[in-house]
Chains A and B, each alone.
Chain A
Amino acid sequence: MIQINDLTISYREQPVLWDIDEEFPSGKLSAIIGPNGAGKSTLLKAILGLVQPLSGQITIQKKSVKEYLGLIAYVPQKGNIDWDFPTTAFDLVLMGTYRSLSWFRRPGKLQKQKTEAALKRVGMWDFRDRQISQLSGGQQQRLFLARALVQDAPIFLLDEPFQGVDIPTEETILSLFQELRNQGKTVIAIHHDLGMVQKYFDWVLMLNVQKIVSGEVSKVFTKENLEKTYASKGDFLILPKLQDKELSNPISNSKLI
């Protein structure tokens, strides 16, 4: 569905992504993992057309960037916006509906209903009138999710949705992922917690400038592949115990950061 061919991207002379070929399956939960500086965020931005590739193309359902942008809901990293901006939680989520409105038109009743539903879905309805800086990190992340939900898109791209969130938010996100998958939506998330990838995701792409491997988690999520992904950067850290099926707590101490 999402097809990436020969994608190479560089900032100045430094390649960030090198000759990536990948095809993300539709209707699945996919994770992108890799060490810092592996080009994970850049890959998402390339899909969104926010960075220009040196070579290669990305197509979704055989459409090019300009045509497929309407199919994607994007959840950026929390740090990228000014949280002191004079806007409320409700308003932030409402912005997700702007795309469905043509030029000059303002959000109406339908858009507000959608916003209400999304806020309730992520448990943020009671905070709708708060200025956005008066919310915790987890709550801010849930707002971003709600904003993506109101976009009604078949594809979700998330940049580290679990970064610095509390346990309730993590549970909300995970249950949302399941729900989206049940609705046949495609979810692609950049992720750091390897234990969680193994437990909840269907498909994984291991990335370190070059593509190391990709495939179904049950097949490619092996120690060798992980070592290849993380070791070449030199900051090899303790890997989680992969065979440990007793991982009851999704945020075990297996965080690789």
Chain B
Amino acid sequence: MSLDVPNTAILPIFGTFRDFFDNSTLVRIVIGTALLGMVSGALGCFAFLRRQSLLGDGISHAALPGIAIAFLIVHDQPLWLILGAASAGILATWLMQIIVRYSSLGFDTALAIVSSVFFGTGMVLLSWIQGHVRGSSSSGLEKYLFGQAALMIEKDVQAIAITCTIIFLILFLFWKELKITIFDPEFAASCGYNVPLLEKLILALLVLAIVIGLESVGVVLMSAMVVAPAAAARQWTNRFGRMVFLAAFFGAVSATVGSLSSDYLATKRRSIPTGPMIVLVALSIVFCSSLCWRCIYQFKRTFLSDRSRKETGSILSQNTIGK
């Protein structure tokens, strides 16, 4: 991978269209980050709506030792590193469930314990690898901490594209089953759906969405990519489908803008990892969404209150008794 490091400047983001397509590295980064922003945004809605936003944090932190161990075995193979991260993430969620079931500790405590223990182990392994494994210091394992989208190579983008296709295909095919499972699991079970299996499927998709983003965003800040787009999207709509769509869009925008501006700053000799930039963009979308929505709400209250009050009043009177 070290061969492909594009330390050659990736240039002014505000350059012309032609510059953009001439620069294949830039195209690669834009496509890669947009795709991973889309999946983590879309899947983030599921975690967000089940009030398990922090689960994303736990999974991403827990992925670090998986990456380190995979690196020890196969060295720098993106797909294997992703697999290692995913297995560590799944192992962590499984451990959390075990702790919740067999002790008197709550989910939040289990999450805190498991994710910090995994992250700590990961850090120890990482520094050990850098001291003992030849060629590891140049392979840039530390990019998994805060993310470095500029280091994305063709293979990474391929891996991301394949995972994205699989995730969106599953979302599309099992849409109504997944929706009813997160909205009302008890009712879903009473309809004969296999709820535990569907819940595992949602978790597996979430883990996948998180681990493919780790290289660009990093384990430390990945949870923001899961939560922020969903939180922003929730402000704009009261429909589940639209929310997932919007979150995917916000995720793509923040990932792309964030990684491009990090790149741009790199050309100005200010090295800032991609993760923090992406997170800043994502959170400003959340902030603007809340602000806009608040303004609209206030506006409606002040100017439309008379009319809307009359309307609801008439609906209420028509509707007091079922026909």
Contact = CB atoms under 8 A, between A and B. Distances in A.
Interface of A: 48-50, 66, 69-70, 72, 74, 76, 80-82, 85-88, 91, 95, 98-99, 101, 103-104, 106-107, 120-124, 126-127, 131, 142, 147, 151, 168-169, 171-172, 175-176
26 contacts: A48-B189, A70-B192, A74-B187, A76-B190, A82-B51, A86-B49, A86-B234, A86-B239, A86-B242, A87-B183, A87-B238, A87-B239, A95-B184, A103-B173, A104-B173, A120-B323, A121-B322, A123-B323, A127-B319, A131-B238, A142-B322, A151-B191, A168-B320, A168-B321, A171-B322, A175-B322
A85 B190 contact: no
Contacts of B319: 123-124, 126-127
Contacts of A91: 239-240
B190 A72 contact: yes
Interface in B149-196: 173-177, 179-180, 183-184, 186-187, 189-192
A101 B176 contact: yes
Nearest to B316: A126
Contacts of B186: 50, 74, 76, 80
A98 B191 contact: yes
B184 A81 contact: yes
A85 B189 contact: no
Contacts of A88: 238-239
B74 interface: no
- Contact size class for B? 20 to 34
B240 A80 contact: no
Contacts of B237: 86
B50 to A, nearest CB: 8
Nearest to B243: A86
B318 interface: yes
A58 to B, nearest CB: 14
B318 A85 contact: no
Interface in B113-171: none
Nearest to B173: A104
Select the residue from B51, B183, B191, B239 with max chain A CB neighbours within 10 A: B191
Contacts of B322: 121-123, 142, 168-169, 171-172, 175-176
B197 interface: no
B323 A126 contact: no
B315 interface: yes
A123 B321 contact: yes
Nearest to B234: A86
A79 B135 CA distance: 57
Nearest to A126: B315
Interface string B293-323: 0000000000000000000000100111111
Contacts of A127: 315, 319
Given A70-B192, A86-B238, A98-B191, A171 B184 contact: no
Select the residue from B49, B176, B322 with max chain A CB neighbours within 10 A: B322
Contacts of B180: 95, 98
A82 B184 CA distance: 8
Contact of A106 (B51, B175, B189): B175
Interface in B35-61: 49, 51
